[in-house]
Structure formats: structure tokens, C-alpha cells
Amino acid sequence: MAAAVTIRRMTPTIAAVVIDDPTRSLNVLSPEVLAELAEALATIAADVKLEGLIIASTKPSGFLAGADIGSFSTRLAEPGIDAAGLCRQGQALFGQLAKLPLVTVAAVHGPCLGGGMELAIWCDRRIAADLPHTQLGFPEAKLGLCPGWGGTARTPRMIGLANAVELITTGEPVSATAAFRLGLVDDVIPRSTPPEKLADELLAAAVRMIVAERASGQYLRDRQRWSQPIAQSETELMFLGATAGAMIQQKTGGHYPAPAATLELMLEAASADLPSACELEAERFATLFGTSVNRALLNVFHLQQRTKQPLAATQSGAHPSRQSTADSRRPTVAILGAGTMGRGIAAANVRRGHRTLLADTRPDALTAAIPAILREAAYDKEAKGPTLEKTTAAAALLTRVDTDAQLGSADMVVEAIVEELAAKHALYERLEAVVTPQTILCSNTSTLPITRLAAKLKHPERFCGLHFFNPVRKMQLVEVIRGEQTSDETLAMVTSYARALGKTPVVVRDSPGFLVNRLLMPYMNEALVLLTEGVPIKAIESAAKAFGMPMGPLTLHDVVGLDICQHAGRVLHAAYADRVVETPVLSTLIAADRLGQKNGRGFFDYPPSKSDGPPKGKPSAEAETLLAPLRQPAAARTDVTDRLLLPMLLEAIRAVEEGVAADPRDVDLALILGIGFPPFRGGLFYWADTVGAEELVRKVESFSELGARYEPPTALTKAAAQSSAIERRRLTDVLKHE
């Protein structure tokens, strides 16, 4: 096996330690790579002729994505693991870079995250290529941790405490140019550099930087400064702690302890020297390592990584060997429908460099959609708006379609027209007359069965559902729905296409509501039932938010639109009549023209606001008056959370038992990405396993008088029956083997 870490001589006095793990598509700091890195640094330290060292990667995918999370997760199961000791080992290894009698420079392209970022900050200087996929940062907070290899100690001494607090506690990466403005990198190779010359130019720039630093000696003065306490007064520290703490509390709701713990650590370490700051970091890391939130967030990470693997499409039977053809080139994609969803899907395609055709039977809708799509596709995060360069590039990719014949060049068609079966059938008939025999057709339907939609197609094997969620620009989830005749190759192509858009595809079998809407239905329906039982609106909303949901179920009704919820509810009631309780709540509010946020009146009132954020609802006296006759006398309840969550869980079990979802992990990821199920819970099934099957059965049976929606499915009762005082049987294990 070829080595992952090699030493290359750049000049007689400058060497490069090059990382390129041949066993992986992206470099990570696995135990094996760390061992090789230690050997390489020992060799460098013994070479008295050297004056400079470059840390670089020759892997096209990037520099370093961080620690090997798979190996890291395995360590959680080791009894008596010394987490602080692991931190000290990493700090000692990387710390050698700041002690070598030569200039050290990290040459970065692509991802430089977590442990990779920590390796870079222990170097004297950093230089980065300004590429679209170059990202620098510390995502540890998103795993319920703080950096452990010197990130919280070195970074604030380099870029300032306030900047470091924001960078590390949010876990959000920054681009090369943003990192340059922060002082996180010292030079940037411009994006205009020809791709074939980029690697050589990056290394050449690093060599020039070493020569300049040797001449000026500034790197030695910075080493001295960065080893000292941070010059910041007690008043400044208190102000930063108060403002940053308030922002963290507002963002996390107190459910994620790592950001607050990291802030506290960085404030405490500010007055310490570098070695003491590193020791404080190791100790704080150990308190976060292995906590319930850390384990849950690691589970979410593995759920996301699982969808990136080639076998992801095999969730519902796609053949993995056929997926490679989907990645060979960017397809030309036609979007049919210039409404809200069509615009969002078109913008996502243009933003990812796909030639995009946009069609609609309404010329005025097309005229209005084109500039809106270009604005969204050309949006630049740093410029906080579209740029001329990106707008020009986007315009070259977007084509208005006025005749069916223009659709003939499409490799893939995504239909997003009105939810009417006859209208879609008529459109498909026209399409099949002009597209090629290889063209794949997808529908963005959220309610109509894929198999029924395919009934009149000549080639139903090249048709599937591709359900995006609104707003497309924000929602990462895409449901790929397999109809009865959808081919393995089609499924593989479409999942690959969804990943190319930066989305996370979850493959599900065709059934009413597909997966996410089917599981959301019992949650939202139960909220309406609780209202009729006299539970106050505030109690329902508070129970959901205390569990960690991003908003209460009644606010969610308002966001979606009460009329849309009513329509979806009727579709799902027709399919699952024994488990959907009809209430007059929505029809009563709709009759009073209370449709939700779309017209400022739903369960809550939404007065006009000058802010750009989402509308803020206020209690509505009119809504309370309208609902009063529908409600039983108010009763104090302590089981509201169970009433909301258990029907969703039971329906999820049924969906897996029926094969709608092939794996409980698909359900967990779909709900996290699709409805905002709290990541710190690890997923719906992950949370269920923490509660335990026996306890879940006890809870469910206590609601048996409420009917079929609370009947425990077979897998749940089996998991409870197989549990013992010695070992608790996990529900997910039972479902995986059903």
C-alpha cells in the first residue's frame, strides 16, 4: 500500500510534507495518517539543511476534511477512554510545527476543516486557493464538541478573540477570501488561476512566502506573541461573554451545550499562556466527549455520510454499478412549471452549473420567473446579493422555452405543475413526443401516486418522483420516489443528480404521502385533536419546542398554509382513515379567511414587519373565538409531548415494516432534513431507542382508548418482548432484520 504522507524536496532548503491517502477520496486524519505524519515531522526535524516546510495535499478533492469520524466514533465504545489524553497527543504532534527551526506554511485548497484546520493553524503561515469548494473552519460544535488539537488556543491569538469565538462556536466554515479578511490565511491564490496551474502555483507561492519570512523574521515574532495571554481587559471579556452567550442561547435554545461550553473555555483561556490554554481545551473536550448530544450528533453525521456512498441508491434496489454513468457529465435539465417550486428547482440547477430549460404554459409566469431565478442562482454570500459575474454566468445557463420542440435536448425533465392528475398526464404525452428515448422524467408532486402518474407513459421505467421541499434553496432533503415500474438505472441516475445539486436524496417507495408527509401527518393531526380536547394553543406549541422542534405544529400549519394542509390531510385520510382523526378546526379557520402566514392570519396573527426574517406570530383573539365552540372544557395535561410524537413514531415503524422506507436510518435523516426534527435527538428512531421499546409500549398502551393510531406495530412489541433486564433490544435492530 502506498504511503499517505510523503516528503518532497521543493528546493535545496525547502521541503513539503504531502498528504494524499490512496485509500480515500478525501484526506482525513485517521490514526494511520497521524502516525505517518509524526514520522515525516521527525524526519524533517532531523534535517539541519532545511529552512522551510510546506504542508500540502496533492489530492484534487482538497486539503484535509478533519479527523476520521468513523474511527473517532468507535472510540466512544471503548471503556475508560482518555479523551483529554487524545487531545494532548494531537496538540503535541501539531505543536511541533510551531517549534521547528524553520518557517512552516500550510498550502490549502478545498476543505480545510476540524483537525485539518488545526494542523494548518499550528503552521506559521497559511495560503489558500480561492476555489468554490475551499472552506476553512471548525465544525466540531456541530458534533457536540469543541476543537481538541489546539483550535481554541491558537485561533484567538491569531485572529482576535471575538472573531475566533464566532468562527468556532457557530461551526460555520468560511471561504478563502473571507479567511484572508479574518487573518486566518495570509495569502490567496485567485480564482482566475488556470486549474491546470493551480497546484504548482500554490506550492510556488508557499515557497516565496517562506523565503520572505526567513528574510523578515516576522514569523518568530508572531510565534512569541501567539504563545502569550490575549491582551484583553476584564470588561471586554465580560461584554463579549454576555453578547456571544445571548446569541448562542437564542440559536441553540439551550439544547446544544458545546457552543456555550466552548465560549466559556475561550474566555477562561484568554488570560492564560498557550500551553495552559491547550490544557484547558483538552479538559473541556473531555467533558463534551461521549455525552448524549455528542453521540446523537455523531449519529446524524453518519446518516448524512451514508447518503453520499454509491450504495445509497440501493436503498430501494438500484444497482450500484449503474450509478457511475450518472456522474459522467452534467445533464441538461428541463423544469416544467415556473411557479414557486419550479423557480426554486431551476435556480438550484443553474447554481450548480446545469444547462437549464424553463417552460410554462403562461408566458407572463415565465417572464416573471427568469429574473427571480437569476437573482437566486447568482446570490453571493459574501456580497450579500447577486454579483455581476455570477449573474452573467447564470444567464448563460438558463433558457426560456416557448415551444415543446425546444425540450428535445433535455437529458432530464422535472415537472412541477399544478397537482392535477389529468393535467400531468396531458403534459407527459406531449413530452414523450419530443424527448429522446434516454430522457428521464421526474415529477415534483407531493401528493399524487407516482405509479398512477406513470400509467399512460410509454416508458414508465424512466419515470420517478423527485420531491423537493420548499424553499428549495434552504431545504436539503429530496425524496426520490420509486414507482412500480421505475428501473434501477433511473433511480441511480436521479439520486446521483440530486447529490450533484447539493441535496440529500432519500429513496422511498411509492405510497400515499410518500415518507415525510406521511409521518408529518399524525404529528400535525394530533395537534388539532389536542385543540379540540381543550389543550391551549400555547401548551401545544411549547411542548413541541421544548422537545426541540424548530416551531410548534400550529405555527407549522400557518407556515405551510391551512388550505394546503387541509388538502394534504384529505389525501392522507383517504389512505389511512383509521389513523387520521377528522376535526373541524381547519375548515372553521379557512371559512373565516384565515389561511396562515400567506395572508397574515391563521392560528396566529402576523402583522406587517420591517425585518427580513420570517413573520412572527402573535396570539389571535379572533382565532380563539372561532375555535372556542369546537373545544372541550380546558383540562391540564402533562402528556402533550407524547401525544404529538408517539403517533409519528408509530407511523414511521409502519412505513419501514411496509418497505416504504428501506431502513430506519432513512427515516431519521429524512425527518431531520425535511421537518427539522431536532438533530440533538439523533433522529426519530435514534430517540426511540434512547427511550426504550418497553417504555414506548407502556406509553402507547396508556392511550389505547384513542384508537388505531395508537396501536403498537409488530416491530415495537417484538423489541419490547425481546428486551431483558440484562440487555435492552433496540427497535431499529428489529426493523433492520424484519
DSSP secondary structure string, 386-438? E-HHHHHHHHHHEEEE-SGGGGGG-SEEEE---S-HHHHHHHHHHHHTTS-TT
Residue carrying C-alpha cell 441553540: 252
Q: Taking 50 as the threshold, does the pLDDT of residue 312 lie above it?
A: no
Distance CA 7, CA 30 (A): 18
CATH code assigned at 565: 1.10.1040.50
Cell numbers for 306, please give them. Answer: 451514508
Q: Taking 80 as the threshold, does the pLDDT of residue 207 lie above it?
A: yes
Q: 3-state class of 5 per DSSP?
A: strand
Residue 633 — pLDDT band, cuts 50, 70, 90? Answer: confident
Q: Taking 60 as the threshold, does the pLDDT of residue 600 lie above it?
A: yes
pLDDT for 310 equals 58
Please state the rounded mean pLDDT for residues 203-221. 97
In this structure, how many other beta carbons lie within 10 angstroms of the beta carbon of residue 170? 17
Q: What length does the chain have?
A: 738
Please state the rounded mean pLDDT for residues 222-241. 95
- Last residue within a domain, chosen from 599, 623, 640: 640
Residue 701 lies in a domain: no
Question: DSSP of 233-294, one letter per residue?
Answer: -HHHHHHHHHHHHHHHHHHHTT--HHHHHHHHHHHHHTTS-HHHHHHHHHHHHHHHTT-HHH
467 is catalytic: yes
Q: Taking 90 as the threshold, does the pLDDT of residue 29 lie above it?
A: yes
Residue 57 lies in a domain: yes
The string of pLDDT tens digits covering residues 325-371 is 334 468 899 999 999 999 999 999 999 999 999 999 999 999 999 99
Tally the domains of the chain: 2
pLDDT for 635 equals 67
Residue 634 lies in a domain: yes
Higher per-residue pLDDT: 727 or 440? 440
Question: DSSP of 53-107, one letter per residue?
Answer: EEEEE--TT-SB--B-HHHHHHHHTSTT--HHHHHHHHHHHHHGGGTSSSEEEEE
Q: 3-state class of 559 per DSSP?
A: helix
Q: 3-state class of 348 per DSSP?
A: helix
Q: Taking 90 as the threshold, does the pLDDT of residue 265 lie above it?
A: yes
Residues 556/569, Cβ–Cβ less than 8 Å: no
Q: Which of 66-70, 218-222, 285-289, 323-327 has the lowest mean pLDDT?
A: 323-327
Q: Taking 80 as the threshold, does the pLDDT of residue 98 lie above it?
A: yes
Query: What are the residues facing 621 on neighbouring strands?
Result: none
- Last residue within a domain, chosen from 290, 320, 352: 290
Residue 273 lies in a domain: yes
Q: What is the mean pLDDT of the chain?
A: 93
Please state the rounded mean pLDDT for residues 272-294. 97
Query: What are the residues facing 6 on neighbouring strands?
Result: 18
Please state the rounded mean pLDDT for residues 40-46. 97
Distance CA 276, CA 261 (A): 17
Q: Which of 467, 557, 567, 737 is catalytic?
A: 467
pLDDT for 196 equals 80
In this structure, how many other beta carbons lie within 10 angstroms of the beta carbon of residue 669? 25
Q: What burial class does residue 628 get, using C-beta atoms within 10 Å of its C-beta: 0-12 exposed, 13-18 middle, 19+ buried? A: exposed
pLDDT for 17 equals 97
Please state the rounded mean pLDDT for residues 722-734. 80
Non-local CB neighbours of 101 within 8 Å, separated by 6+ positions = none
The string of pLDDT tens digits covering residues 170-183 is 999 999 999 999 99
Residues of the chain with pLDDT > 70, as a percent, come to 96
Residue 55 lies in a domain: yes
Q: Angle at the Cα of 436 (from 444 to 343), degrees rounded to 5?
A: 30
pLDDT for 738 equals 65
Please state the rounded mean pLDDT for residues 242-269. 96
Residue 212 lies in a domain: yes
- Last residue within a domain, chosen from 606, 640, 674: 640
pLDDT for 481 equals 97
Residue 613 lies in a domain: yes
Alpha carbon distances (Å) from 105 to 180, 183, 184, 463:
15, 14, 12, 52
Please state the rounded mean pLDDT for residues 187-213. 91
pLDDT for 56 equals 97
Measure the N-to-C terminal CA separation of the chain; round to a whole number of Å: 40
The string of pLDDT tens digits covering residues 518-548 is 999 999 999 999 999 999 999 999 999 999 9
Distance CA 346, CA 44 (A): 52
The sign one gets for the Cα dihedral 210, 216, 218, 221 is positive
% helix / strand / coil in the chain, to the nearest 5?
55, 10, 35
Q: 3-state class of 26 per DSSP?
A: coil
Residues 513/525, Cβ–Cβ less than 8 Å: no
Residue 726 — pLDDT band, cuts 50, 70, 90? Answer: low
Residue 249 lies in a domain: yes
Query: What are the residues facing 103 on neighbouring strands?
Result: 52
Q: Taking 70 as the threshold, does the pLDDT of residue 215 lie above it?
A: yes
Q: Long-range CB contacts (< 8 A, 24+ apart) of 254-258? A: 255/293, 255/548, 255/678, 255/680, 256/141, 256/144, 256/293, 256/680, 257/144, 257/288, 257/291, 257/293, 258/140, 258/141, 258/143, 258/144, 258/145, 258/146, 258/288, 258/293, 258/294
Q: Angle at the Cα of 674 (from 606 to 547), degrees rounded to 5?
A: 70
Domain span at residue 602? 516-640
CATH code assigned at 60: 3.90.226.10
Q: Which of 115-119, 137-141, 302-306, 684-688 has the lowest mean pLDDT?
A: 302-306
The string of pLDDT tens digits covering residues 444-459 is 999 899 999 999 999 9
The sign one gets for the Cα dihedral 400, 401, 406, 407 is positive
* Extended beta strands in 524-609, E state: 604-605
Q: 3-state class of 507 per DSSP?
A: strand
- Is the bond preceding residue 471 a cis peptide, omega within 30 degrees? yes
Residue carrying C-alpha cell 427571480: 372
Q: Which of 38-47, 65-74, 332-341, 484-493 has the lowest mean pLDDT?
A: 65-74
